[in-house]
Structure 1
Amino acid sequence: MLISGGGTTLRNLIERQQHDELPIDLRLVISSSPTAKGLQFAADTGIQSLVIEKKKKDSPADYERAMFEPCRAAGVQYVVMAGFLKHVPIPADFENRVINIHPSLIPAFCGQGMYGLKVHQAVIDYGAKITGCTVHFVDNQYDHGPIIGQWPVPVRDDDTAETLQARVFAAECEAYPAVLRALAAGQISATGRRISWLR
């Protein structure tokens, strides 16, 4: 799992796993920041963690190697972005193996710089009536990879960015485990940008 900050998504997945609601093996947490609160969740649960900061002198290829060599060494099948705010190139052997969740219905309200409360304020300012969250495979463009699933959330007339964020995050807490359970069960297949859920 790749994190950058508070680790709320990581905490949700750990709790689901501990309650036997998520049959996955969390092997490694990589943080882009040594002060990320999510590192404590990993430590409390005994999950191996690393801090890999993106340095100005790093080329994209250097950063890609730094991030994915530990994943290969740990034998991970999927890399889950959980509030990870850095752009990292995806190597060919991890195509359709890196997953992200975004707090809008892609392709709306997404792209570089669109994260956190900025997304929800943009939704409200536009006057959208439906928002939600999107789980997608990650490619080398922001919020662009094939969509695995989307969960709609209505926008209320009295919403603030904070209240909308809270309801969308509640949807995220259901969406990510649902996708990871399906991946673990081999129930998701990809043909180009077309993602199918097998029953």
Structure 2
Amino acid sequence: MNTPSAVAIPGTGGRPPRLAVLLSGSGSTLQNLVDQIQRGDLRAQIELVIASRPDAFGLVRAQQAGLRSQVVARRAFPSEDAFNDALHATLEPLDVDLVILAGFLSRFQLRGRYQYRVLNVHPALIPAFCGRGFYGLHVHRAVLAAGVKVTGCTVHFADDEYDHGPIIFQECVPVLDDDTPETLASRVQAVERRLYPAAIRLWAEGRLEVRGQRVVVLPERPYESPR
């Protein structure tokens, strides 16, 4: 049996990672990251917010936080490839460390350059209730309709498929008998607010190692005083 080769994530060498946040809707994930950065709980710098829809409320949140934002509208392009050409052209001059998918409803193509540099959060336990069309309350309606007892959220490295790639974190959330899509979403989002910044911190600290489809969290490195 062949053991998959390990890919160590180098991190940023102690400096705050430079982020680009891609969104399509309300921007609640963006707001969580902004709040964490402002409180000092997350050392990171958001260089740009890109919205795939001009009416995304996430653009308002970006403006309120004093962040640079730009619309790259999916509907303005005849194909997914052309749309991604525009996304990559927008990102290239910024030299960001990480692309953060935050309710981004289009597929971001890695194109070789961004392997293990794109993170996504999904409001279910991948590979369940995921893929194209599973977003927002659609996910939680499907969970309730299926009658499952447990759902949760997943933070993972994105690849070229929807809601797919090596999983960094998963955490379960119980489904209650009196849950509605809205109440379930609220409890799942509370977990997302903890796990997504934690994954960004581990990436920046170089404490993630990808072994095939598995992600191993490495122990914290001991501090070494300069000689």
Q: TM-score range by the shorter chain?
A: over 0.9
- The question of whether the paired residues in 1 share the 8 Å contact of 2:77 and 2:83 is answered with no
Distance 2:118 2:169 in 1: 14
CA positional deviation for 1:170: 0.7
1:78 aligns with 2:98: yes
> Does residue 64 in structure 1 map to residue 84 in structure 2?
yes
Calculate percent identity across the aligned residue pairs. 46
Q: Deviations over 1:105-129 (max 9, x none)?
A: 0001111111111111111111111
Partner Cα distance (1:124, 1:60) in 2: 32
Alignment match, 1:3: 23
Give the CA deviation at 1:56: 6.2
Tell me if the contact between 2:150 and 2:175 (Cα under 8 Å) persists in the aligned partners.
yes
Q: Name the SS of the counterpart of 1:139 in structure 2.
A: coil
Task: Give how far 1:192 is off.
Answer: 2.5
Output one character per residue of 1:128-159: Cα deviation in whole Å (capped at 9) or x when no partner.
11110001111111111111110111111111
Query: Where does residue 190 of structure 1 map in the other structure?
Result: 210
**Offset, 1:70:** 2.1
* Matched residue SS, 1:94: coil
TM-score normalised by the chain length of structure 1: 0.95
Trace 1:1-199 onto structure 2 (pairs within 5 A): 1-55=21-75, 57-199=77-219
Query: Which 5+ residue runs of structure 2 have no aligned equivalent?
Result: 1-20, 220-227
Alignment partners' CA distance in 2, 1:191 and 1:59: 33
- 3-state DSSP of counterpart to 2:173: strand
Tell me the alpha carbon deviations over residues 5-63 of structure 1, each in whole angstroms, 9 at most, x when there is no partner.
11111001000000000011111100001111111221222221110012465333322
- The Cα offsets for residues 167-187 of structure 1, whole Å up to 9 and x where unpaired, read as 001111111111111111111
Q: Which amino acid aligns with 1:196?
A: V
Cα distance in 2 between the residues matched to 1:165 and 1:16? 20
SS in 1 for 2:113: helix
Report the CA distance between 1:89 and its aligned residue: 2.0
Q: Which runs of 5 or more structure 1 residues have no equivalent in the other structure?
A: none
Closer/same/farther in 2, CA of residues 66 and 57 from structure 1, 3 Å limit:
closer
- AA matched with 2:60: Q
SS of 1:166 mapped into structure 2: helix
* Range moving further from structure 2, 62-71 or 134-143: 62-71
Return the alpha-carbon distance in structure 2 between the equivalents of residues 87 and 74 of structure 1: 20
Letter in 2 for 1:9: T
